[in-house]
Structure 1
């Protein structure tokens, strides 16, 4: 399989590194680097001994990663899919639902494999936590909470809702294996017009509630990225940078009758997971899916559904209302 990387900026350069490693392992045949910045394309091509080009329309490969700015995804993705290229598009798939579904429909029309870079589905601790939830180890899930904090200059094209909270919307859907029914969102934008640097998103999944706090304007925690999942029988905590560890809290609240409640908290135990690089696992999974003509774990449909939720969250902020989420658009998922 010949593979391309279109866009070699902050995250795209990691796709280049992983693709070159997979080529060295014999998984890929040739790898081509593409970026409109010739100097950057040349530098990466020389570092990893790869071919390069500066126009994505010159990328003639079987499959590719698309890691250009989100504002460009729809045009480049639909062109590459129509040319016969299977595509892994970095998150978010697009910045509005119509564009996202247009990419999905183009993949369907040309029978191409489409994946979206929801990389946390390949995070070792989250993969294990998903199994715990499915096995009922935490009991019924009551509450999820995520914090993604840093002190950074806001980006010029997308705010934290589409840059950071997008991860957690997909993580909650993945862990709970369902879509939310209602959403409420509040965003703050003080530094760049129209670019939110802080966002709080509340998602309802029936009786389960998920809260997402994201900000580029909180200096007091360092760079914080964590998740707590609270069940009726136990709770779990994941510090994302410690990607092979989960803390399990054996906790419960017993009703003793007559209004008496009793807490049980046996304290945390740390569980270790085998180490693996999420991006490498994601690209390998995408390559396997293209070979089998099936959808990867984070399919185009999943990516478009996530964009729909983000778009609804944005409308919630603008209207200052809790908004219902209707059943999302769906297309046939290929399993073989």
Structure 2
């Protein structure tokens, strides 16, 4: 198998590094880099011992089987559809596209050309998050009632805004953990410091019996960089620090000592977790790329499909509508996301 990495910005350069490692490890037979800037293309390719091209339309001419696309988000649709139309399987960095219509068009082209399509929602390959998902699936947390995420830092806002840069992770992570879509979405977008775009997001995803609360901000100069997830169950609470890939903390849920209907006389605090789970795992980005390569080789869907990527785009659009209206948006029964009709393993 020959792999291409298209785009060599921050994430693309990391994918190029991994592509070089895959060649060395025998995961793929060969790999190339595609970058419009010839100087950067030559530099990144040389650093990882790869060849390069400067036009994505020529990638298929080099017998490439699969491509990882890490170009700027506005270019995803034209770049990916060109590759798919040439019969090149593709994984696209999140977001899949900037609109639901564009995302659906990409999914359709993948179907029409019988190509595998994946989306780079890297947190689905975070070892600690995978461990929490298994705890949820096995019922070891009891009945899950609440999810909470905090992604806080103090840094300049990116032009696209915190909703599309940060909350895009949570709308996918919560679907991944609960294995279903939310019923409603409520969102507030605030410009605490940034002048040009929102730098702070408050997002509530209602799954009926589970509430997911997301707090994202680039304007909180407290406790440094924070990336945390808490999953509250009736039997235990799981906590993940995303800055530590391999640790899950479990906290006991204190039993109620008060009769029903009476006021609690004190608060029980857990100063330390009841259990710390150390999990094995490779670099999440490398695990993601390996899953895509293996999906192409095996003719199966990758962990994050084009439909998953489209749902993330759709939920962000719902969140924007909610913020504009300052109202809850109902997403039930919405047919905007089209399912894939086929993958090679089903043909």
The normalised TM-score by structure 2 is 0.92
Partner Cα separation in structure 2 for residue 93 and residue 153 of structure 1? 24
Is the aligned partner of 1:90 residue 2:93?
Answer: yes
Matching of residues 1-336 of structure 1 within 5 Å: 1-60=1-60, 61-156=64-159, 158-189=160-191, 191-193=194-196, 195-254=197-256, 256-260=258-262, 267-268=272-273, 269-327=275-333, 328=335, 329-331=337-339, 332=341, 334=343, 336=346
Change (3 A) 1:43 1:252: same
Cα 1:109–1:258 change in 2 (3 A) is closer
Check the 8 A contact 1:185/1:202 in 2, yes or no: yes
Q: Deviations over 1:113-172 (max 9, x none)?
A: 00000111111101110000001111111111111111222223x111111111111111
Q: 1:306 to 1:32 in 2, by over 3 A?
A: same
Cα displacement string for residues 247-281 of structure 1 (whole angstroms, at most 9, x for unaligned residues): 00011443753524777776512110013111111
Structure 2 CA distance for aligned equivalents of residues 294 and 163 of structure 1: 29
Report which stretch shifted further, 218-227 or 62-71: 218-227
Q: 1:179 to 1:246 in 2, by over 3 A?
A: same
Q: Deviations over 1:265-314 (max 9, x none)?
A: 76512110013111111111111111122210100000001110110001
Rounded Cα–Cα distance in structure 1 between residues aligned with 2:17 and 2:188: 37
Count of aligned pairs: 334
Does the 8 Å CA contact 1:251/1:264 hold for their aligned counterparts?
no
Q: Is the 8 A contact 1:295 1:333 kept in 2?
A: no
Gaps of 5+ in 1: none
2:214 and 2:94 mapped to 1: Cα distance? 17
2-structure distance, mates of 1:146, 1:38: 41
**Distance in structure 2 (CA, Å) of the matches to 1:177 and 1:252:** 28
Q: Deviation at 1:38? A: 1.7
Runs of 5+ unmatched residues, structure 2:
none
Sort the Cα spacing of 1:35 and 1:192 in 2 relative to 1 into closer, same or farther, 3 A.
farther
Rounded Cα–Cα distance in structure 2 between residues aligned with 1:216 and 1:22: 35
Quick one: structure 1 residues 141 and 333, their matched pair in 2 at CA, closer, same or farther if it must change by over 3 Å? farther
1:219, CA displacement in angstroms? 1.9
Counterpart Cα distance in 2 of 1:116 and 1:45: 23
- Tell me the SS of whatever aligns to 1:32: strand
Contact 1:133/1:175 (<8 A) preserved: yes
Q: 1:40 to 1:211 in 2, by over 3 A?
A: same
Assess, with a 3 A threshold, how the Cα gap between structure 1 residues 265 and 251 changes in structure 2: closer, same or farther. farther
TM-score, with length taken from structure 1: 0.95
Could you tell which deviates more after superposition, 46-55 or 84-93? 46-55
Distance 1:245 1:102 in 2: 39
Q: CA RMSD in A?
A: 1.7
CA distance in 2, matches of 1:258, 1:27: 59
